[in-house]
Structure formats: C-alpha cells, structure tokens
C-alpha cells in the first residue's frame, strides 16, 4: 500500500462499514444537513480532464476540503491507484471497505491521499474522503505513471 510497507493484517473475513457512513454512498444522494455548511462537491482534474466528486460527511473530508484548492503530484502504485503523502495529518477513522471501487478517494493512515482508478478487493484500512460521481474515463485520464492531480471546490 502507498506510504507504507505494511501488509494488511490477516485475511479479511468481513467488510466493515465506515464510521458514521453506509459504506460508500452508492445512491449518489447528498444529505443536505443544515448544520454542515461544507460544500461537498469538488472537481478532480488530471491531464485536462475533470471529474465531479462528492466528499463524505466526516472529519477527514472536512479537513481535506479545508486544504482546497490543492494540486498534488501523485505517484503510481499497483496499477490501480495514485497516491500522495501530505506533509501534515488529517483526522482518520479507518475501516476495511473490502472492495475498492473505481473513483474512490481515500485516506491511508492519516496523511496519504489515494485516488483509485480500478475496482478490486482489499484488506487494507482507509478513511473514506469521497468518490468521483462518474468515474468513466478516469483510468485513461490518470495514465500509467505519476500524474499531477488538482482538487478544488466546485
């Protein structure tokens, strides 16, 4: 996994639900909570192609949103993800999602931002930051090597 030489702990036997979440927000609906003024809609751009994404409603995503706009030089890892380790830490509430989906934006540990461009099974733990709303074309946009990715509020 990015930013670490650790292997996942043991064999994954059950999929965990993220703290305060439903496991991924696959419905695409955004909860408009009047107590949460954070704009959860962001744009993720690479190689001239932009994707709309929705941030999670959690402390890590709020802290990440506070860093935006942000341009990261992301490194290739395992043919399925791009990652960048931040200088500082974000609040982490990690869980083992079991399945990673194309377009997932996750935090590994407390400082490694990971953007996944392939779907696969994983025993690693992450804090969910958000998800690209329609990840079609994401793999092609990110390319096969390191890439510069821009994150900004819509």
pLDDT tens track for 5-58: 444 333 333 444 455 444 444 333 334 444 444 579 999 999 999 999 999 999
What number of CA atoms fall less than 13 Å from residue 135's CA on the CB side? 20
Kindly report the pTM of this predicted structure: 0.79
Q: Measure the CA–CA gap between 24 and 8, rounded to whole angstroms.
A: 20
Q: Measure the CA–CA gap between 109 and 130, rounded to whole angstroms.
A: 16
pLDDT of res. 39: 75
- Nearest Cα neighbor of 117 from 140, 96, 94, 95 is 140
Phi, psi of 95 (to 5 degrees): -150, 165
Q: Is residue 88's pLDDT more than 50?
A: yes
């Amino acid at each position: 996994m990015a930013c670490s030489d650790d292997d996942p702990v043991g064999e994954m036997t059950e999929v965990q639900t993220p703290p305060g979440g439903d496991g991924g927000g696959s419905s695409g609906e955004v909860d408009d909570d009047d107590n949460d003024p954070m704009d959860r809609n962001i744009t993720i751009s690479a190689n001239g192609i932009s994707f709309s994404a929705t941030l999670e409603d959690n402390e890590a995503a709020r802290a990440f949103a506070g860093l935006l706009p942000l341009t990261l030089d992301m490194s290739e890892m395992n043919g399925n993800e791009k990652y960048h380790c931040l200088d500082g830490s974000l609040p982490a509430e990690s869980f083992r999602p079991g399945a990673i989906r194309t377009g997932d934006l996750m935090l590994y540990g407390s400082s490694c931002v990971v953007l996944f461009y392939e779907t696969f099974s994983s025993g690693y733990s992450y804090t969910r930051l958000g998800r690209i709303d329609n990840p079609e074309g994401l793999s092609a946009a990110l390319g096969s090597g390191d890439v510069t990715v821009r994150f900004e509020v819509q």
